[in-house]
Chain A
């Protein structure tokens, strides 16, 4: 009731209802535009979005899993597995076939995650952590421990470097992903069921909802988003790397949290994830422009993420006021 976004009644009708993270995005943009040279140039902004698009697409998947009350740790390792599978499949299957093989690998990981969580009621934390190790280990075994270069070709680099109507493909893919996520969450039956299942699985079951199907579909779709991100990532690095994106799951969780999505399930909107992704993308970009040492980059990013989360979940803390325990609204009066 007091938190800026999380507890506000979400509207499924699609009316404009900006989350608090919008202000973080605007504030950060203004600060960087003034303080960081070249930040606001068109070229840099395009670059920022292109780099951030991979995180954005994967974060769309993470959003679904978080709404379901779960969490997805296997994204990075499954992207690495996808890159290795893609490059290994290239000689026989061609570029499109290679990407399809890589994407299938990610979808399989999603399927296993979903099956274990939905059908066997295992905790998502452990399942996806386990699959992180399985996918990462699998990638290392397949690659023989070393990165494998992909033979350079225009077709192979198109997902990462191509343009359609002058706009980079990754940015288009991210825009499409967010549009799809919004459609799924706000306007489809499947999305509505994710909210219900995530908010209270028992109540969902007793309402006559086939909970396992909803959960499985959620993890599969999350895998699909991750597969798209993996294709672009593989194309960008032009190689199969067993250690490709170790931080991806954590960055996607951070993006959702910065956007104000509680990890408790049942809540979250596409626009919140978008805001969180933009915050992290701007930070990553700014520390590169400022040429900070890598260690400082991480510290600064960590500080901003924690600050943004604090700002959303406990605004009083930032003003150094004591936080009051949330009042139980058991006696409501109007």
Chain B
């Protein structure tokens, strides 16, 4: 692949070669149009951010770039050469390396075997066992991403961040011209994120182009050089330098003419509702005392692994504890008993909506009603129409989109799935406590606002709300006060209005003088 032959390909800008040039892409799924006129132009050695709401067509465009699907219309050129990948393997062979949000490693196999996966996949049928990558080479790949782990360690023993680095290392072993990072930091700690960004910058310095998909503006501003924004399948901002755009302009481009939300007014808290006394997650953890008042939103914030999510789950009776008592309005509640907790009006939205929240094949309506089946059944029989009467108002209020309550939950976007889990709890009669973990992880901005509004509204009607989130902006925006969680227990409290930097310091264990 010589560079001289392809200069003509770049439109209107002779002499400049795009690593990846995608233009006029359209893709329809049946009657639904995922992409209308998408384009993407990546410069070598630069990080290019791809922004857009869920449903804007980002994932579709990324899948086309990595060869997972083929466009109906449009042109793709890699280093100036028109290309159409028939499959992911071809794309990888051409140097387009995707790193997914959901890791594509083999957990039981060793690091070395995982690093050799592409070679194994490329080997033909029943021939002799394909050779593993030489250990020295594998070592060099790992060094390139700053990972010093044992080559024979099963991948499942690594942290999520380390696994992601292994995946990138595997990509580096190929001729990597374009690295595609699809929400790579969703499950990473701050240190791991920094390390990943370091690796990305080093790769860029060597001329690799990087396509970076993320919902987090801070990361985008820290890492990206150029940006493309998709809205409704069209590139509304087309490969412009990030520095020339403000955050507000980007948000406006993503959302269209929606008004930017201001600071929410939080309701005035009343008397105590939820009290946890001497709560210990594990026998070695320090005891935590937590009181949440009616109409109060308490944020639990902590770094990944701090126990913030676990502590919140324990407050909802969703996990057993080593010691301590829970009480709702003075009535004791056994730990780890969701049946009693729901009866006492304690709602819970788990962190992992697929594993712990959704009934994928069942209709949206039935997903929303799973905590309140008793409410619309009499003598063991379901009252006709009772379910719809109880739940439809909530689905409408949370703006379920598309509004198809009979559609299986698996067929909705993440934001709308999250709305289903929220309506499940909001519909609980006499809801007193609502514990929400990661309310908007992987959710687009509009759904995020709807969900935040619903939480504040719930507090407004006297519910004691607990929000545990790794998204600090979210915790800061919603909470009356923020409880800092470190090492499985509480480590102080911060009032509303605490700055981001101060909060970060506390999460990392640094105290202001």
Contact = CB atoms under 8 A, between A and B. Distances in A.
Contact of B413 (A188, A204, A205, A331): A331
A199 B411 contact: no
B411 A207 contact: no
A322 interface: no
Given A207-B424, A208-B339, A209-B339, A9 B381 contact: no
A196 B380 contact: no
Given A196-B366, A332-B55, A208 B414 contact: no
B326 interface: no
A109 B374 CA distance: 30
Contacts of A199: 359-362
Contact of B359 (A6, A11, A195, A208): A195
Interface residues of A, number: 38
Contacts of A200: 355-360
Interface in B311-364: 318, 338-339, 341-343, 348, 350, 355-363
B58 to A, nearest CB: 7
27 contacts: A12-B387, A188-B382, A189-B380, A189-B381, A189-B382, A192-B366, A196-B359, A196-B366, A199-B360, A199-B362, A202-B356, A203-B370, A207-B342, A207-B371, A208-B341, A209-B339, A327-B29, A329-B410, A329-B411, A330-B413, A331-B413, A332-B32, A332-B412, A332-B416, A333-B34, A333-B55, A333-B233
Interface residues of B, number: 51
Nearest to A332: B413
A333 B402 CA distance: 8
B408 interface: yes
B46 to A, nearest CB: 26
Contacts of A208: 338-339, 341-343, 371
Contact of B338 (A10, A196, A205, A330): A205
Given A12-B382, A200-B358, A203-B357, 8 more contacts: A196-B370, A196-B373, A200-B360, A206-B357, A208-B341, A264-B361, A330-B414, A332-B402
Interface string B468-484: 00000000000000000
B80 interface: no
Interface in B247-289: none
A190 B33 CA distance: 41
Interface in A224-282: 262, 264, 266-267
A208 B338 CA distance: 5
Interface in A300-334: 327, 329-334
Contact of A207 (B57, B370, B410): B370
B401 A334 contact: yes
B489 interface: no
